[in-house]
Amino acid sequence: MIGLQWGDEAKGKLVDLLAPEHDCVVRYQGGANAGHTVVSGDQVYKLHHLPSGILHPQVMNFVTPGVVIEPTTLIRELDGLASRGVEPRTNLMISERSHMVMPWHLLEDQAMNAMAVQGEAIGTTLRGIGPCYRDKVGRNFAFRTTDLRASDLHARIAEIVESKRDLLRGMNQPSLAAQLDVGAITDAAALWAQHLVPMVGDTTNRLLNELDDGKRLLMEGAQGALLDIDHGTYPFVTSSNSSGVGICAGSGIPPRWIKRVIGVAKAYSTRVGGGPFPTELNSEIGQRIRDIGREYGTTTGRPRRCGWFDSVAVRYTARLSGVDALALMMMDVLGHFDEVNICVAYEIDGQLIRDFPCDASVIRRAKPVYETLQGWNCDVTGARELADLPPPAHAFLARIGELVEVPVEIVSVGPDRCQTIFVDKAALLDY
């Protein structure tokens, strides 16, 4: 399950819905920057690290090596669920190879975020994601989940803190540097170890064994493919491979096991943070989409930037991720408009472009070319099968399938599990 835009495509809803058809749900990249919403009856759950299969006790949930874990947030999530009658500790396994977002990473993110790149701030979620992945690749200052079991925790933390204080001072942030206290961090790490070590293990071999035993795995992407570190709108991206190409690297599962890729997109576009967004609507229409779709960040509460559906961007990410089936979400939100637009091409420097450009500065110059379709202008939140949708909604879905070159197989008309229409569920899940 891959987000095909800039995140928040409602992946959490779909993963929760499809989890019971699987034995395992796997989060394989990202960290607490993710905010996945699951609605179960009158209960709303906002998950950051925990896979969205966690509400189903018969489903085993895995957090694999590609994920970066911020322990305080994770423990808060675990306790929060437990206090609501869901016991996540019994069906959760965390990879010992995953890396930990340490207090210095949070401070570094804060310091870096104040700086602009290409004249604009990235506007991160301040969850320490970039600094943690940077240390993972750099190796010397990395802290893995397995390190919670080390006997020389104090020495290891002291060594890193010394360098991090220098780094923060070098960034002209002496007050942030002064916040790093070796004793306090070591004490906190001992507490994290108490909470987390019982769930820590070798997810890589466990998942390979599950596959050998014929078990069905559902892979839950975080963020969206346009935020992919290698293939997104760099540098306005996150620090992991959030497109389909990240599944294998982050989980340790070889490509031959991937049988079906579902790409999730909204019927319009949103983006949080900085970076180019060709179909952005800085207008009353954009504000209406934001209000009707309640487009405010799950993790940070920031208002999301809103715009029309961009088939140039989604065709690119669907191809990049090898998407077989499209899930189109928030069809109810577009039900409030007389007319709806779909971007079918970009005009860049006088040329018509259908292939999504590499360079953020080029994407910034893209003028969207729109096709206007009749809106359905009615409440579709009660639709439960395709026949319940009015003809203009059918025309919209068909046109998106055509432009993205992937058929729409799932349509969502509201946040609840029951507000979901499958074109042919049995065929979609036959793998």
Question: What residues line the site for ligand GDP (CB under 6 A)?
Answer: 3, 7-13, 35-37, 39, 293, 298, 329-330, 332-333, 412-415
Angle CA 66–70–75, to nearest 5: 115
Which tokens in the block code for residue 201? 């293990």
Q: Does 270 bind Mg ion (CB under 5 A)?
A: no
Q: Which of 22, 36, 48, 231 is catalytic?
A: 36
With respect to ligand GDP, which residue has the nearer C-beta, 37 or 113?
37
Which segment (35-43, 94-102, 120-128, 241-249) binds Mg ion by CB under 5 A? 35-43
Any contact of residue 272 with ligand IMO (CB under 6 A)? yes
| Alpha carbons 332 and 323: distance in angstroms, whole number | 24
Q: How far is the CB of 122 from ligand IMO (least distance, A)?
A: 5
Give the pairing type, strands 351-353 and 339-348.
antiparallel
CB of 8 or CB of 295, closer to Mg ion:
8
Could you tell which of Mg ion, ligand GDP, ligand IMO, none binds residue 305, using a CB distance below 5 to 8 A set by kind?
none
Q: Report the C-alpha gap between 4 and 318 in whole angstroms.
A: 7
Q: Give the integer Cα–Cα distance in Å for 146 and 336.
A: 51
The nearer residue to ligand GDP, 173 or 298, going by C-beta atoms, is 298
Establish whether 430 is a catalytic residue.
Answer: no
Is 91 or 412 the residue whose CB approaches ligand GDP more closely?
412
Positions 111 through 140 that interact with ligand IMO (CB under 6 A) = 122-125, 127, 129-130
> Is 355 assigned a catalytic role?
no
Q: DSSP state, 182?
A: H
From Mg ion, ligand GDP, ligand IMO, none, interface partner of 98 (C-beta below 5 to 8 A by class): none
Residue 4 to residues 129, 241, 263, 324, 329, Cα–Cα distance (Å): 20, 12, 6, 12, 12
Amino acid (1-letter code) at residue 135: D
| Residue placing its CB nearer to ligand IMO in the complex, 98 or 210 | 98
Q: Rule CB under 5 A: is residue 109 a binding residue for Mg ion?
A: no
Q: How far is CA 104 from CA 18, 75, 82, 190, 239, in A?
A: 37, 18, 29, 17, 17
CA distances from 335 to 286, 340, 381, 389, 396 (A): 14, 9, 9, 10, 11
Check binding of 220 to Mg ion (CB under 5 A).
no
User: Which residues form the interface with Mg ion (CB under 5 A)?
Assistant: 8, 35, 298
